[in-house]
Amino acid sequence: MHCPICNSQFEQHETVAMPFCSDRCRQIDIGRWLEEGYSLPRIADPEDDEEPDDDTLRN
C-alpha cells in the first residue's frame, strides 16, 4: 500500500494511522483539510443560475 501523502510503501499491519504510513502524514492530511487545501468538485445546478421570482423576493 502507498501513503497518499508521502507516497512511501508500507504494510497495512505496520501502522495505526491507516490509510497513512505514519501519524505525521495523518496530521499533514488533516491540516490540509482544515486549511481548505482540498476541495470537492461541485456539479453545477442549472436552477442556481435562474433569477428568483418576484414573490420570492417579497417574502
- How many angstroms separate the Cα of 48 from the Cα of each of 18, 22, 43, 52, 57? 39, 42, 11, 9, 15
- Is 44 a member of any domain? no
- Is 6 a member of any domain? yes
pLDDT tens string 25-56: 999 999 999 999 988 888 877 776 666 655 55
15 vs 51: which has the higher pLDDT = 15
- Is 25 a member of any domain? yes
Domain encompassing residue 11: 1-38
Distance (Å, whole) CA 51 – CA 46:
11
Q: What is the reported pLDDT for 48?
A: 66
